[in-house]
A = this chain, B = another copy of it.
Amino acid sequence: MDIHEYQAKERFRAAGIPVPPGEIATTPDEAYAIASKYGGMVVVKAQVHAGGRGKAGGVKLAKDATEAREHAGNILGMEIKGLTVEKVLVTPAEDIQTEAYVGVLVDRNNQAATFMVSAEGGVDIEAVAAETPHLIRKLVVDPRYGILPHQGLWLANYLYDDPGLIKQAAKIITQLYHAFIDAGASMAEINPLVTTPSGEVKAIDAKMSIDDSELFRRPDVAAMRDSSGEPASEIKAREANLSYVKLDGNVGCCVNGAGLAMATMDLVKYYGGEPANFLDIGGSSNPDKVVAALEIITSDPKVKSILFNIFGGITRCDDVANGIVEATKRIDIKPPIVIRLTGTNEEVALEILKNAGFDAYTSMDAVVEKAVALAGAN
């Protein structure tokens, strides 16, 4: 789960990291009021779960409250990578001397939280890591010990020469680690970490992603979920406990298992089609889940055909077949549905489906080819 910049800043502030003040506006007038309160120049920043806000025009410097209102008017309602901006953060403009990058994420290879810092701030760290890895210092944090004092200093030494700045940065790095752990995060980032002419080190931007598996035990973090601006279909999928990602094609896919779901999308492409979505119904053959899946897929007007690809292992194919029949009784579905079922009890399942008037297959290639053809024809 991604959280907004302003939410990440709240967590950072609670961990002791110096973060400039800031308030959320949902209307231009609110932005005006906040900017007036601060006086002077402010930055108006779109709060949206998408990278590249700046390039998309979602971050603007305003010389006064009137300009802040104007910028907020432009940014609120803007679409960034398919998400609508419904909130802006209004924050005093800082006098910046240097910009650095400090981030921590769970690293798969080291099986541990890993810091990356760079004296090149305000940049895309993945691009830096790929193109100029020598400009990054990395530190793997042994989970058994947590971050140790000398490790924070070692990272900070890479960013600054001045002992005062190093000391502040080392403290911030340790605090960032604690904010990361306390939130059950998979990533936490300060980009940029700035220094001011008066010698302070501050977090000007903040980003944090939460491990979804942590939410059940962290109600304070779960409460930060903000679905505003998210596609309704994805919200509905999450509520129904389905893994769903909307794409741009016209072949709706409903599959059990994430790997098989991706392979099915790839096969749609292989046969010249475009998948409309990723959707994993999981191991359950519960009709309610199948209904929700079909409602979500059909809510996308681009979808011209729907394919089911089910490999029954523990899941019994007849259960799934019954679920599909039941689901299509409950809701009205326009695009044609083609179904591949194989594995446990497949014969019974195919019988059920044929009786209900569905095209049913046992080969994955066959059903995908058919779905692509149907989508092209419709």
List the interface of chain A (C-beta within 8 A of B). Answer: 144-145
Question: Chain B residues with Cβ under 8 A from A145's Cβ?
Answer: 144
Q: In the complex, A91→B144 CA distance in Å?
A: 41
Would you mind naming 2 contact pairs between A and B with Cβ atoms under 8 Å apart? Answer: A144-B144, A144-B145
Question: Chain B residues with Cβ under 8 A from A144's Cβ?
Answer: 144-145
Q: In the complex, A230→B145 CA distance in Å?
A: 40
Q: In the complex, A144→B144 CA distance in Å?
A: 5
Q: In the complex, A145→B144 CA distance in Å?
A: 6
Q: In the complex, A145→B142 CA distance in Å?
A: 11
Q: Nearest Cβ in chain B — how far from A149, in angstroms?
A: 14
Q: Nearest Cβ in chain B — how far from A210, in angstroms?
A: 23
Q: Nearest Cβ in chain B — how far from A79, in angstroms?
A: 47
Q: In the complex, A54→B320 CA distance in Å?
A: 71
Q: Nearest Cβ in chain B — how far from A142, in angstroms?
A: 8
CB-nearest residue of chain B to A144: B144
Q: Nearest Cβ in chain B — how far from A143, in angstroms?
A: 9
CB-nearest residue of chain B to A142: B144
Q: In the complex, A188→B345 CA distance in Å?
A: 61
CB-nearest residue of chain B to A145: B144
Q: In the complex, A341→B322 CA distance in Å?
A: 98
The 2 closest A-B pairs by CB, nearest first: A144-B144, A144-B145
Q: In the complex, A144→B145 CA distance in Å?
A: 6
Q: Nearest Cβ in chain B — how far from A151, in angstroms?
A: 15
Q: In the complex, A144→B143 CA distance in Å?
A: 8
Q: In the complex, A118→B144 CA distance in Å?
A: 30
CB-nearest residue of chain B to A146: B144
Q: In the complex, A230→B181 CA distance in Å?
A: 44
Q: Nearest Cβ in chain B — how far from A13, in angstroms?
A: 24
Q: In the complex, A13→B145 CA distance in Å?
A: 28
Q: Nearest Cβ in chain B — how far from A111, in angstroms?
A: 15
Q: In the complex, A144→B142 CA distance in Å?
A: 10
Q: In the complex, A145→B143 CA distance in Å?
A: 9
Q: Nearest Cβ in chain B — how far from A177, in angstroms?
A: 16
Q: In the complex, A269→B61 CA distance in Å?
A: 83
Q: In the complex, A265→B371 CA distance in Å?
A: 95
Q: In the complex, A255→B358 CA distance in Å?
A: 98
Q: In the complex, A21→B144 CA distance in Å?
A: 37
Q: Nearest Cβ in chain B — how far from A159, in angstroms?
A: 28
Q: Nearest Cβ in chain B — how far from A154, in angstroms?
A: 20
Q: In the complex, A299→B144 CA distance in Å?
A: 51
